[in-house]
Structure 1
Amino acid sequence: MTITILTSIISIFSVAQSQMTFAFADLSVLASRAQDNSSEKQIVIDRPLTLAEYVGNYFADAPVLTKVAWCESNFRHLTSDGSVLRGVRNKADIGIMQINELYHREKAKELGMDLDSLDGNLRYARYLYEKEGLQPWKASAACWKKTSADIAMTAVSG
């Protein structure tokens, strides 16, 4: 009787494992079929993304905003104590994109975006960019106008 139960458990496990393999295979197929001109792509991720990679993927259609995030916050949204990052020069600038809450918190709230959350901060930055271009981040223009190689060298040396 013990052998029969053990054999049944092994059979169930084998079926579950093969279904999982198919599920992962399906994800790979979906990712490989993603069209370059499609506005939404499915990507298979085999490891956690860094915040820099996440922002780069989020702003893949507007890479200058990835540079802005680096220049404004060094790709940080939270401080070491877990609070939302605030600007050094202006404490009203918050989060990874350093959005000024005095000017933008109310509108963000109307749009259902929370500037204190990473997602809300990034979404509102996209909204601002589509509405005003890079104007809200003109104070850091000397940084984000540099080439990606210049920014990488600054990150390594500074």
Structure 2
Amino acid sequence: MDNMASLKDTLTASGGAESAGFLNDIIAQLWPNINVAGGKIIKDVVEPMLDQMLPGPLANLRFVKLDFGPTPIRFSNVDVHKTELEGIKLDMDLNWDGKCDFELDASMVPKIGIEHVKMRGRLSILLCPLTNVIPLIGAAQVAFINPPSYLSTLPTPLTSPTSP
């Protein structure tokens, strides 16, 4: 029985944290595509949540602009684990200090904008199940291990009252 426990520990052990230079290079090249795809995901996922969670005049809050800007997210300290469920788990630090252009609008409230985001956190990505068919991964789950630190900068008011 000790041999099985030892085997399990070996299979789920980490090789230690690694640099993510190659991953950051790939993300930098894909950033324009991530900008478009990420904006679509945010609209498709977040807007229905806003409909359900926000009261009256805010319920129709919509993204009218979603631009992640020129600075890509960066990763570091990547730690790779084999899971017990025949998958791969990657834990990594995420750091984004991006000049972005996000704008939300609703019919009864002024536009809301965000022009700069700083976000740091430890991200966990579970790739499971592994398959024998390209792309070899059946699904991916992404979550922060703990809530990330987040700071955003709002621009000057996007709409101003008209003068008489």
TM-score range, shorter chain: under 0.3
Q: Say which one has the larger Rg.
A: 1
TM-score for both structures, normalised by structure 1: 0.26
> Quick check: which one's strand share is greater?
2
Q: Which has the higher contact order (CA 8 A, sep 6+)?
A: 2
> Quick check: which one's helix share is greater?
1
TM-score for both structures, normalised by structure 2: 0.25
